[in-house]
Chain A
Amino acid sequence: MSSEKITHGDDGGNERTIELTINDETHQVRVKPNELLLNVIRDKLDLTGPKYACGTGECRACSILVDGEPELSCLRLAVTADGSEITTVEGLSDGRDLHEIQQSYLSEGGSQCGFCTPGFVIMTKDLLDNNPDPTEEEIRDHLKGNICRCTGYNNIVEAVKVAADRSPENGESE
């Protein structure tokens, strides 16, 4: 487990070290008690896949998986994630090989400007992990909290359908 050591940063905040396993790599990170998980992932761990678009839980662009569950990283304090296993959109591909969900967003035009895509890919992973063969109704329901301003959602829905079809076991999970 992480060794806990309290220091006083020059901002007077109580910095401490937390341990985050992100996309299978374990990091010790110095964070302040008020630091958001999204900012720690983006600024300290240099994973800029998760996006800030509202900061108030309204768009899901910052979605990540924490211990397998979808979370809004813009609403979560980093210290509360100490010891967690996190997956971001970057963690889905295997080197240069795309995960079938990423592959489908690419082939079906589910990503236009792409700013919402990291959040959609993560929420799609969550859906297919739990429901390998969803109906369109279920897909639309699961993604209703994600905002995409570009696509009108049709090609996103299509991408999820194709990803479900492409999944080796039709529901392969790690």
Chain B
Amino acid sequence: MPKNSKSFHAIGTDSPRKGGKAKVTGKAVYAPDVSLPGMWHGKVLRSPHPNATVVDIDTSEAEAMGAICITPDDVPDVKYNERTISVPDAIYRDNRVLTDRPRQVGEGIAAVAAETEEKAERALKAIDVTYEEHEPVIDPEFAVSDDAPAIHESIVRDGEVEPIENNIAVERDISVGDVEQGFAESDHVFEHSFETGRTYHAQLENKTTVCRPEPDGGITVWPTTQTVHNVRQLLGEIFDINLSKVNVKRLELGGSFGSSIQTNSVTPITVALAMAADKPVKIVSSREEDMYDHCRYPSKLDVKIGANDDGTLNAVEMDVLADVGSHNIQAFPYLGVVAGFTASLYDFEHLEFRGRAVYTNKAPACAMQGFGNPQATFAVECMIDAIAEELGIDQLELIRKNYVGEGDTFWGQGPTIKSVVKSCGVEELLDQGAEAIGWDERTPPGEKDGRYRRGIGMARGFHTSGTGGPTPGEAIDYSSALVKINEDGSVDVVSALQDHGGGTRSAGARIVAEALDVPIENVELSPTDSRNTAYDVATHATRGVYAGGAAMKKAAESVREQLLENASRLLEVPPDAISLEADTDEGIGRVFVEGVPDKELTVGEVAKRAELNNWGTMAAVESNRQVACPPAYAAQFVEVEVDMETGEIDILRTAIGNDSGTIVNPKLAAGQQHGGFYRGAGYALVEDTQYDENGAIDGNGLLTDYRMLTTMDLPSNDETETFFVETEEPSGPFGAKGLGEACINPTAAAVANAVYNATGVRFTDIPMTPEKIIGDLRAEYTDRVTGKPMVPAEDDD
């Protein structure tokens, strides 16, 4: 039974995160901090060519130096896909531990291990590789042309070899109703094309793995990962080791943002090296290697929306071309969610989606915070602003008229995972955000002049809470947890659930404290690995608290029954007559019979007496799948100032609102809002990786070549307002929904709409770097002296 929020003692209070002390003292252990006795160091020989075939590898000199070397011939001949969250039919296998057919600069060809990093480095340089180079395919439009060379001849899906044609990794068409009829019935049809950047995750921890071969033929692995269980499964499959002998340790994770949803490429390489050397081996990626390892799916989106004069949105048509790079990690689900999130933004009666994902000779794209949602929401929410202006309807009005809300169907993860919305705070998000930014005082672009122009914009969005649903879909989604009460009344939570820094595990501890009615200080999270926990799919899709926390709650509720049962034997009353209460002042859980003063114990006393009576440990392990995927709604409002002469965009103010159901830890939740907004603003304004014609990332492969916003580029704390509209989600643990990814999805459109409001120019290609936008801005900029445009407009957007 859901508790009334007013009676929460652990949820909704601010106390420091579990494990936080280790972080602020430098004692927290991340994969790069793991060091084992007798450990060797590994290095990977990576292709300097974007598209080539390895003709010969000579490792004799490196071996003569005492290094252990492995080449494509020394690794299992298994074709795999590094992300194993989908059902087999939706998994496209095109990768291998090491390859003799590199398809991007930076792909692993061979690897060495030696006692020191320096020795390994020198051995690596002594390896001689002969390549036959092929023409690189950099541009996705060229990739699908008949002139483009084939990047992959074929892939494997569900045991079958499938040919690849025109470098198209996946095509996915999804339709609802009849879009042509929808357009025919509309008073207006609006069309725009959008383009989104190749964002790099830039998580601060470079991908790392340590592997120790065990005497029994097993392996112990310490990787950078969002999911110890999926790493375990994949390594078991590649190296043909029973899962019971593959142990993957869960460590602190130095940020991820989706980059470690798949088993990282260094992980199987490290395992292969460690097995060949028969010693523990560690590989730490350099920043340059990491930049060639992953990025967000860059996409071109052509959107058509049919609307009536009264603002009713009838139909949407979307054509997407996504550039997946060298390997297809999850393009099939990616296209599915771009369609699904579009369908869930507004109540379109007709939808037609055509998606193509194409291979190119670049770093492989993978999930990045929002997965498909930042792309879809950027396009659709910019269109909504444009449509509102054309129709002469306030943007908030247009949203209110059409959004998918309570009682509507929400597509949580593409067309196969849907559920009905049961909690929705959209109206309040719009009201509070509008109030905070001063929406009513907003003036149209036509009224701005001068060099520095200010504008206000907003966008709405959401993210799914997990990928569960009433029926199984194409993604696997469940979590597990063990909860046990120790003999002094303290509680251990044993779960593989990963925390990227958002406070997911801390939130889980609060949920357990609440479910057991013990103070949060008495609940701790055990160190875990894949051998001592039951399955948890991954921390992704904003499912950590909603789904991971729900599994912990379920286990805690079973333990609560046992606690009541044992207390009933001790107090000699039926279990139903017993109450539990957290005494946060005393730091104990009380077990008592209301109105009967001598019938009272502490949780610790019950646990101790249960032990002395040999009744066993109060403990339960549960797996749980959530049967819904509720939307966690978001709205963001921003004010910008644009320098019409330089193209510089300054964000002056923002109001960031979220409906995430019950808020478990307010301060950490606000941190999610800040972080999402920061990365979203970077996505809108500066972040991108560009490739030259030789398949190399522009610049020197350094972090400074990848522009990110700094402390100086963001509004001050006083100008950053965050707020929550607390709804109660019936399917969530104590009413909670997801949060993290919802905080980035509307940002780019909110910023772009504010830039439009400031300048009257609508930019549809992000990031909106000064170099990209200056031409159009200057064309718009009326010279104050002559009253004429400084530069005549070249093309109309």
Contact = CB atoms under 8 A, between A and B. Distances in A.
B400 interface: no
Contacts of A114: 20, 22-24, 28, 252, 254, 501
Given A149-B202, A153-B678, A154-B720, A102 B25 contact: yes
Given A56-B702, A118-B26, A150 B116 contact: no
B674 A153 contact: yes
Contacts of B500: 113
A98 to B, nearest CB: 7
A49 B284 contact: no
Given A98-B21, A109-B667, A113-B204, A152 B677 contact: yes
Contacts of B252: 113-114
Interface stretch (B132-140, B549-557, B707-715): B707-715
B711 A115 contact: no
Interface stretch (A14-22, A65-73, A135-143): A135-143
A89 B25 CA distance: 6
B25 A59 contact: no
Contacts of B670: 109, 154-155
Given A51-B204, A149-B203, A112 B671 contact: yes
A54 interface: yes
A47 interface: yes
Contact of A111 (B20, B257, B286): B20
Contact of B205 (A11, A112, A115, A147): A115
Interface residues of B, number: 60
Interface string A112-153: 111111100100000000000000110111011111111111
A147 B306 CA distance: 44
Contact of B675 (A89, A90, A106, A152): A152
Interface stretch (B29-37, B188-196, B272-280, B724-732): B29-37
B717 A154 contact: yes
B405 interface: no
B702 A54 contact: yes
B656 to A, nearest CB: 10
A55 B286 CA distance: 8
A113 B717 contact: no
A48 B671 contact: no
Interface string B675-717: 1111100000000000000000000001110001011101011
Contacts of A145: 710
Contacts of B286: 55
B431 to A, nearest CB: 24
A150 B712 contact: no
Contacts of A144: 710-712
B88 interface: no
A4 B160 CA distance: 66
Interface string B118-162: 110000000000000000000000000000000000000000000
A82 interface: no
**Which of B25, B252, B255, B500 is most buried by chain A, counting CB atoms within 10 A of its CB?**
B25
A58 interface: yes
A48 B501 contact: no
B503 interface: yes
Contacts of A156: 711
Given A98-B21, A98-B25, A140 B711 contact: yes
A107 B30 CA distance: 22
A136 B24 contact: no
B202 to A, nearest CB: 6
A164 interface: no
Given A58-B702, A113-B501, A149-B203, A155 B671 contact: yes
B760 to A, nearest CB: 29
A103 B27 CA distance: 14
A158 interface: yes
Contact of A58 (B22, B26, B27, B703): B703
B502 A106 contact: no
B221 interface: no
Interface string A21-55: 00000000000101000000011001111111111
29 contacts: A34-B118, A50-B26, A51-B30, A51-B254, A53-B703, A54-B703, A56-B287, A58-B703, A58-B704, A98-B21, A102-B24, A106-B23, A111-B20, A112-B502, A113-B253, A114-B20, A114-B501, A116-B204, A121-B26, A149-B203, A149-B679, A150-B502, A150-B671, A152-B676, A154-B670, A154-B714, A154-B717, A156-B711, A158-B717
Interface of A: 11, 13, 32, 34, 42-43, 46-56, 58-59, 61, 88-90, 92-93, 98, 102-103, 105-109, 111-118, 121, 136-137, 139-141, 143-158
